Structure 1
Amino acid sequence: MAGLFESAGGGAAIALDEYEASILRSLEVQLLERIGPGPGGAGDDPLAALFAEGPTEAPADPALARLFPDAYGEPGKPDDEESRAASSEFRRFTELDLRARKRDDALHVIRALDGLGGGGGVLKLPAADCLRWLGALNDLRLTLGVWLELTEDDEQGLYDLPDTDERKPLVIAYLWLGALQESLLEAITD
């Protein structure tokens, strides 16, 4: 393995050195911090949590707005009042669950990386975990894309950035995450 996922008995496996594992873990922790904790504490009423309503407005943070976009309206075009109302209602009943899933996916990746014991090694994912990893990698890539202010036209230019560009480390991480995503997808479809 060369730092990318390979098919492994219905699941996938990847060899990560300690730096790759550390970088991936750090990015997931940063994403968790951005998404924030779940509502309430452990002592809360589970029935009340089941019927909890989420926010009705899109997040002000552009990275979170990318992870939790409006459900209605067209991107880049002003929304009409009907689209805004429908998006608000949809967000109110879905965002808490979506945030919880994204938190769970990120925590799942962190725990798997922690299982390497702080160093590198071969990480074997059962088939049931692969989709969680795909989701977590996608969330990281979307977040980095926002931080880098990327558009569809920018991707080819990323390979030509000079080493002196302060965005270079994030660009390398963005491209690496894309390669991880692609290799994981290929590994689980083989």
Structure 2
Amino acid sequence: MSGFAWHRRSKRIIANFTGFEADLLRSLASQLVELLRNEAAVPREDMDPFEAMMDFSGPTSEPDDPVLARLFPTAYPQDEEAAGEFRRFTEGTLRDGKARAACTIIDGLEEAGLPPELTEDGLMIDVELDAPTAEVWMRSFTDLRLALATRLGVEEDDEHYWHSLPDDDPRAQAHDIYEWVGYLQETLIEALTDA
């Protein structure tokens, strides 16, 4: 992965990605959207828009998928009934918000010139965001890192384990992606707070 990430120019937040990096980021965001929408309740097409907006028939139990359970933790671990009610009223909206945020990354990369197919190695993609859109990307980076950490089994203070793996180990490569998304998030935060 390249060593360059986000910086501020005037009121814009800018990054340059290789075609490979942009495609990888789009793939991660697409997988997150698919996961979030795969188990989400889809409103009926014949449902009145107001009724759909007020539909609180969401899930009442913790998701089976460990990533979703991490993204939507139980609000009241000591009170199953309250936790179920809270989840029923909030999870659908939270899922939609996280999916829209990931779609913002996909749309931003495609608007910057990433074609639908895998790009050439030498191609650079210049992404320019305003501050509100950059904040959406930052929140989605958090979701992507949580998803990757959950799938990999990353734990606090286990860096030595990950760095001890051979470079050709698929787990090491996946962990490199996890760290890269963290780097993107960190430099994006710095660019947003840079006066």
* Deviation at residue 3 of structure 1 after TM alignment: 2.9
Q: Where do 1:18-97 residues align within 5 Å?
A: 18-36=19-37, 39-53=42-56, 54-73=58-77, 80=78, 83-97=79-93
Structure 2 stretches lacking a partner, 5+ long? none
Which residue type is aligned with residue 150 of structure 1?
V
* Deviation at residue 122 of structure 1 after TM alignment: 1.3
Matching of residue 12 in structure 1 with residue 13 in structure 2: yes
| Residue from 139, 157, 169 that aligns with 1:135 | 139
Pair 85,156 (structure 1): closer, same or farther in 2 beyond 3 Å:
farther
Q: Secondary structure at the match of 2:13?
A: strand
When normalised by structure 2's length, the TM-score is: 0.86
CA distance in 2, matches of 1:185, 1:43: 42
CA contact (8 A) 2:13 2:130 kept: yes
Q: Percent identity?
A: 38
* Deviation at residue 50 of structure 1 after TM alignment: 1.6
* Deviation at residue 90 of structure 1 after TM alignment: 0.8
Q: Secondary structure at the match of 1:122?
A: strand
| Residue from 143, 150, 153 that aligns with 1:146 | 150
Which position in structure 1 is the counterpart of 2:182? 178
Which position in structure 2 is the counterpart of 1:77? none
Question: Which deviates further from its counterpart, 163-172 or 103-112?
Answer: 163-172
CA contact (8 A) 1:13 1:122 kept: yes
Q: Aligned residues, how many?
A: 182
Deviations 1:71-118 (A, max 9, x none): 123xxxxxx4xx222211111110011001001101111001111222
Structure 1 stretches lacking a partner, 5+ long? 74-79
When normalised by structure 1's length, the TM-score is: 0.89
Pair 15,97 (structure 1): closer, same or farther in 2 beyond 3 Å:
same
Question: Which deviates further from its counterpart, 103-112 or 154-163?
Answer: 154-163
Which position in structure 2 is the counterpart of 1:113? 109
* Deviation at residue 31 of structure 1 after TM alignment: 0.7
CA contact (8 A) 1:6 1:183 kept: yes
* Deviation at residue 43 of structure 1 after TM alignment: 4.6
CA distance in 1, matches of 2:131, 2:140: 15
